[in-house]
Amino acid sequence: MADIAFVGLGVMGAPMARHLAEAGHRVTVYNRSTSKADEWVARHGNRSAPTPAAAAKDAAFVMVCVGNDDDVREVILGDDGALGAMSAGSVLVDHTTASAGVAREVAAAAASCGVGFVDAPVSGGQAGAENGRLTVMCGADDVATFESAREVIGAYAQKCERLGPAGSGQLTKMVNQICIAGVLQGLSEAVNFAARAGLDVDAVIDVIGKGAAQSWQMDNRATTMARGEFEFGFAVEWMRKDLAICLGEARRIGAAMPLTALVDQLYQRVEAAGGRRWDTSSLVRLLQQP
């Protein structure tokens, strides 16, 4: 069992850290809001630390799951950041969905300290984190570093693969979010069409979900979309953050993404309608209105 620091105890990080503790690892947690860290320790044991650096001291692995590029830089590279306290030979794993650029920046800084680095964004949502069934998309310059991290990540992942050097995990997560955005808009239009045509939406979904139209979003969101229920995980504001990263990278590499850009604009309308914290299936709300 390993000494592990976990930085960031949000809706994803808290259950991921729990799985590490339940697997028998010695876990030290840090969260910007200390009350969340105190609550986590009260429920799961182990200990908390006042700064990322204090959490990372003596840890063989440091796992990070925060909000965006600026947060990553603060908790890893800042004055009290984790990297400055890590020992040569230890491994830093960033589960944040962030830019490929910041992943490469952190990888270079880690390498200069003799620390291994894996960018490892996740897919599967809060339910996947709670159930230990996440898919983890990794980038790492060193294969041996990835393999050592994969053993630890296995506590909360159903699949964990290296897709290439540092930054490749973040690029793969962008591909994931592009796919989800397009599928959700198509599903929104289909659900709305079925309802307006007078069909039994649940029955329609049950039938077409056994054929080529099937998707995870259809299986898990179509019926709640038809009922106007949007309290099932990944929030619109988080998706817009991810799509901004996707669109920025697309501009950099010259990739056309007209549908993704359109869906981002539609999510902006959802936010304007008060749906900032609704889940991403709330795209259908724009079509359900008179």
Q: Give the span between the Cα atoms of 251 and 106, in whole angstroms.
A: 22
Task: List the catalytic residue out of 36, 57, 159, 173.
Answer: 173
Q: Give the span between the Cα atoms of 4 and 287, in whole angstroms.
A: 46
Question: Where a domain ends, among 113, 132, 166?
Answer: 166
Q: What is the block-wise mean pLDDT of the chain (290 residues), using blocks of 10 residues?
A: 97 97 98 97 97 98 98 98 98 98 98 98 94 98 98 98 98 98 98 97 97 96 96 93 97 98 98 97 92
Residue 290: per-residue pLDDT: 67
The reply to whether 34 and 84 lie within a common domain is yes
Residue 233: per-residue pLDDT: 80
H or E segment and range at residue 147 = helix 143-153
**CB 129, CB 122: distance < 8 Å:** yes
The reply to whether 23 and 120 lie within a common domain is yes
Q: Count of domains in the chain? A: 2
Q: Give the span between the Cα atoms of 130 and 278, in whole angstroms.
A: 19
**CB 239, CB 266: distance < 8 Å:** no
In 3-state terms, what secondary structure has residue 200? coil
Structure pTM? 0.95
Domain range for 104 is 3-166
pLDDT tens digits for 243-289? 999 999 999 999 999 999 999 999 999 999 999 999 999 999 999 97
Question: Where a domain ends, among 166, 193, 228?
Answer: 166
Residue 211: per-residue pLDDT: 97
241 is known as an active-site residue:
no
